[in-house]
Amino acid sequence: MPDTQPHLYLVDGSSYIFRAYHRLPPLTNRHGMNTGAVYGYTAMLWKLADGLSKADGPTHMAVILDKGSSSFRNEMYDQYKAHRPPAPEDLVPQLPLIRVATRAFSIPCIEQAGLEADDIIACYVTAATNAGWKVTIVSSDKDLMQLIDDGKVDMLDTMNDRRFDRAAVIEKFGVGPELLGDVLALMGDSVDNVPGVPGIGPKTATQLIQEHGSLEAVLAAADGIKKPKLRQNLLEHADNARLSRELVRLVCEMTLPEPLDALELKNIPEAPLREFLEDQGWKTLLNRMVGQGARPSEGTRPAAPVRPAGPGEAEAISVDRAGYATITDAATLGEWIAEAKAQGRIAIDLQGDGGHGLAEGLAGISLALAPGKAAYVPLGHGEKDLLSEGPDQLGLGEGLGLLEPLLEDESVLKLGHNLKDQLKLLADRGIHVRPAEDVMLASFALDGGRFGHGLDELVKKHFEHDCLPLKAVCGTGQKAIRFGQAPVAAATEYAAENADMVWRLWHRLEHRLAAEHATRVYRLVDLPLIRTVGAMEREGVKVDRTYLADLSQTFATETAALEERIFAAAGGSFTIGSPQQLGQVLFDRLGLKGGRKGKNGNYSTDQSELERLEADGVEVARLVLDWRQLTKLRITYTDALQAQIDPKSGRVHTRYALAAAQTGRLSSTDPNLQNIPIRTEIGAKIRNAFIAEDGHSLLSADYGQIELRLAAHMADVPQLKEAFARGEDIHTITAQELFGDAGKDSRNKAKTINFAILYGISSWGLAGRLGISTEEGKAMIDRYFERFPGIKNYISTTLQKVRECGYSETLFGRKTHFPNIKSGIMNLRQGAERAAINAPIQGTSADIIKRAMVRMPGALAEAGLTGTRMLLQVHDELVFEVPHGDEEKAAAVIRDVMAHAAEPVVALDVPLSVEVGWGDNWGVAH
DNA sequence: TGAGTCACG
DNA sequence: GACGTACGTGACTCAA
Q: What is the DSSP string of A133-171?
A: -EEEEE---GGGGGG-BTTTEEEEETTTTEEE-HHHHHH
Q: How many Å separate Cα A177 from the centre of its chain?
A: 31
- Nearest residue: Cα versus C1' of C4: A827
pLDDT at residue A387, as a whole number? 54
CA dihedral (A506, A511, A512, A517) positive or negative: positive
CATH number, domain A330-539, options 3.90.1180.10, 3.30.420.10, 3.40.30.10, 3.40.50.720: 3.30.420.10
The separation, in Å, between residue A147 CA and nucleotide C9 C1' comes to: 46
CA dihedral (A52, A56, A59, A65) positive or negative: negative
The separation, in Å, between residue A763 CA and nucleotide C5 C1' comes to: 9
pLDDT at residue A461, as a whole number? 93
Name residue A879's beta-bridge partners.
A700, A872
Nucleotides of C under 7 A from a protein CB: 3-15
pLDDT at residue A311, as a whole number? 53
Measured CA to C1', the nucleotide nearest A580 is C14
For residue A876, say whether its CB is under 7 Å from any atom of strand B. yes
Number of H helices and E strands in chain A, helices first, is 38, 23
Measured CA to C1', the nucleotide nearest A599 is B3
- Whether A878 and A902 have beta carbons less than 8 Å apart is answered as no
pLDDT at residue A3, as a whole number? 57
Cβ within 7 Å of strand B: which of A 820-859?
842
- Whether A425 and A351 have beta carbons less than 8 Å apart is answered as no
- SS3 category, A747: helix
| A594 closest CA partner among A607, A603, A585 | A603
pLDDT at residue A646, as a whole number? 94
- Exposure string of A76-91, with b = 16+ CB inside 10 Å and e = fewer, is ebeebbeeeeeeeeeb
The span from the CA of A754 to the CA of A795, in Å, is 14
The separation, in Å, between residue A748 CA and nucleotide B2 C1' comes to: 37
- Write out pLDDT tens, residues A698-713: 999 999 999 999 999 9
The span from the CA of A141 to the CA of A601, in Å, is 50
Q: Which residues of chain A have pLDDT under 70?
A: 1-3, 24-26, 30, 52-53, 68-70, 82-85, 291-312, 355-359, 383-389, 594-600
pLDDT at residue A68, as a whole number? 67
Left (φ > 0), alpha (ψ -120 to 50) or beta: where does A475 sit?
A: left
- Whether A634 and A552 have beta carbons less than 8 Å apart is answered as yes
Alpha helical stretches, state H, A370-517: 396-407, 419-428, 439-447, 455-463, 470-474, 488-515
DSSP element (H, E) containing A871: strand A869-873
- Whether A502 and A417 have beta carbons less than 8 Å apart is answered as yes
Nucleotides of B under 7 A from a protein CB: 3-9
For residue A230, say whether its CB is under 7 Å from any atom of strand C. no
For residue A632, say whether its CB is under 7 Å from any atom of strand B. yes
The span from the CA of A813 to the CA of A843, in Å, is 10
Rg for chain A, CA atoms, rounded: 32
Cβ within 7 Å of strand B: which of A 543-602?
579, 597-600, 602
Domain boundaries, chain A: 2-169+252-263, 330-539, 542-652, 662-704+825-926, 706-824
What fold is seen in the domain A542-652? Taq DNA Polymerase; Chain T, domain 4 (1.20.1060)
The span from the CA of A902 to the CA of A743, in Å, is 35
For residue A640, say whether its CB is under 7 Å from any atom of strand C. yes
The residue type found at A117 is A
pLDDT at residue A69, as a whole number? 60
pLDDT at residue A70, as a whole number? 66
DSSP state of A84: P
pLDDT at residue A596, as a whole number? 65
For residue A590, say whether its CB is under 7 Å from any atom of strand C. no
Count CA within 13 A, CB hemisphere, residue A256: 17
Alpha helical stretches, state H, A633-743: 640-643, 681-684, 706-714, 718-725, 730-739
For residue A759, say whether its CB is under 7 Å from any atom of strand C. yes
- Whether A737 and A787 have beta carbons less than 8 Å apart is answered as yes
For residue A498, say whether its CB is under 7 Å from any atom of strand C. no
The separation, in Å, between residue A619 CA and nucleotide B6 C1' comes to: 21
- Whether A426 and A419 have beta carbons less than 8 Å apart is answered as no
3-state helix, strand, coil in chain A (%, to 5): 50, 10, 35
For residue A679, say whether its CB is under 7 Å from any atom of strand B. yes
Cβ atoms within 10 A of the Cβ of A731, count? 22
- Architecture of domain A662-704+825-926 in CATH? 2-Layer Sandwich (3.30)
CA dihedral (A822, A824, A826, A832) positive or negative: negative
CATH number, domain A706-824, options 1.10.150.20, 1.10.579.10, 1.10.1500.10, 3.90.1170.50: 1.10.150.20
DSSP state of A87: P
What fold is seen in the domain A2-169+252-263? Rossmann fold (3.40.50)
The span from the CA of A851 to the CA of A898, in Å, is 8
Count CA within 13 A, CB hemisphere, residue A660: 8
